Structures are given as C-alpha cells and as structure tokens.
Amino acid sequence: MSLQLVKTGSSLPLTKADGQPSTKFVVELSWNANGPKAPYDFDVIAAATSGGVVGQGLGKTPSTANFCYWGQKQTPGISLSGDNRDGQGDGVDEALTIDLTQLPAGVNQIPVVIEIHQAAARGQDMSQTKGATAVIRDVSTGAALAQVNLDTFGVGTTAVLMATIEVTGQTAKVHAVNQGFVGKDLNDFVQLLTA
Ligand SMILES: [Ca+2]
C-alpha cells in the first residue's frame, strides 16, 4: 500500500504492501515554525489507553507510566524520538514509535495529541501557525502508509487530538480526528487520559 492521505473523520488500516498488518510503525510529525510569535514549540503526547470509543470519548490509562511525552520518552510499546523546540529545519521534528507487540494488555486506543508548549505564557495558539503533518511509516519496510494533516483551528486552540491509533490485537488503524482543545495544556491531558 502506498502513502494515503487520511481525511478528518476517516480512518485507514495500517497495512504493509504484502497485505500484512504493520505491527511496528513510526508517527513522524513535522510542523512549520513560521507565525507572528515564532518560535512555536509543538509537543507530541501519546498514551496507551483503554475503554475509549473513537468519536465518542477518550480512553484512560491506569498509570502515568503509559504516558509518552518529552518528560518520559520511553513507555511500554511507545517511545518518543526527542523534543524539538522550534520546528526549525527540514524533515521530521518529533517521532513516536509504536510497537503493538510491547503495549500493555487491553490497550485499544493511542491518542496522538499535539500541544503548544507554554502556549498561554507565550500568547500562542494554533490559529497563528501553518499546520503540521503526521506521516505513519512501517518500521520493517520503511514504507509510508498514511498521512494525517492538522486542520485549521481558531484563536485560543492550544492543543489538538490530531489522530487516534485504534489497536485491535496486533493490528492498528489510524483515525484522523483533528479535535481542537481551547486552553488545554500538558497537565490537562494527563488528567483527561489518566483514570
Ligand atoms: Ca517540542
């Protein structure tokens, strides 16, 4: 399967060219630093959750040990490449690697949230920036499987649930969600996603 753009509200199974499910893949996030209050420090937040239903509600994780972000880059089944502070330069700014075989039992959703670090203090929001893309790439083949683009958001939106990875056993599907959150920061998502 070649790279497919997944539009907001749609989903796509993460499947390799040979038809087998991708069990280990990277979510490569790139964003543009331009905007009136640059630099913008986007942070990726992901968590291995259970109990959520796409389009209806977020799942929860029983422990903050399953909460992957710049302050905790290695969690069971999910790891983060690093913390890019300004989106400068070409290519991938931050990348999440997800290994379905290493996730805690019972996980059915991994929300992928993009948040602007210190948005309130810096007077920044998503309306000022020029978007971001997430490309999902199979680790074993290197092939790009799916792309989700950040939608346009209004003034005050500081975080976006960009995509949700739906996990069923050793298969995964990406949902392009693009749900904006006004005024929410990292701590709010820790609370929203922790049981
Ligand atoms: Ca960052």
The half-sphere exposure of 46 on its side-chain side, counting CA atoms within 13 A, is: 32
Distance 18 CA to ligand 1 centre (A): 35
User: For 117-132, how does the pLDDT look when each residue is reduced to its tens digit (9 = 90+)?
Assistant: 999 999 999 999 888 9
Distance 100 CA to ligand 1 centre (A): 24
Q: Which two tokens stand for residue 34?
A: 């331009």
Q: How many residues does the chain have?
A: 195
pLDDT at 10 exceeding the cut of 60: yes
Q: Which two tokens stand for residue 74?
A: 């290695």
For residues 130 and 70, the model is more confident at 70
> Which residue type, as a one-letter code, is found at position 193?
L
Distance 80 CA to ligand 1 centre (A): 11
Q: Is residue 6 part of a domain?
A: no
At 131 the pLDDT is 84
Task: Give the count of domains, the chain.
Answer: 1
Distance 83 CA to ligand 1 centre (A): 4
At 33 the pLDDT is 67
Mean pLDDT of all residues belonging to the chain: 93
Show the domain range for 16: 11-193
Q: Is residue 2 part of a domain?
A: no
Q: For residues 145 and 155, give the distance between their C-alpha atoms in angstroms, rounded to a whole number.
A: 32
Q: Is residue 18 part of a domain?
A: yes
Q: Is residue 131 part of a domain?
A: yes
pLDDT bin (cut points 50, 70, 90) of residue 78 is very high
| pTM reported for the whole predicted model | 0.95
pLDDT at 1 exceeding the cut of 70: no
At 180 the pLDDT is 96
Distance 19 CA to ligand 1 centre (A): 34
Query: Ligand 1 (ion): which residues have CB within 5 A?
Result: 41, 43, 83-84
Which CATH number covers residue 68?
A: 2.60.60.30
Q: For residues 46 and 68, give the distance between their C-alpha atoms in angstroms, rounded to a whole number.
A: 5
Q: Is residue 56 part of a domain?
A: yes
Q: Is residue 44 part of a domain?
A: yes
Say how far residue 117 (Cα) sits from the centre of its chain.
15
Q: Is residue 21 part of a domain?
A: yes
Q: Which two tokens stand for residue 66?
A: 């399953």
Q: Is residue 5 part of a domain?
A: no
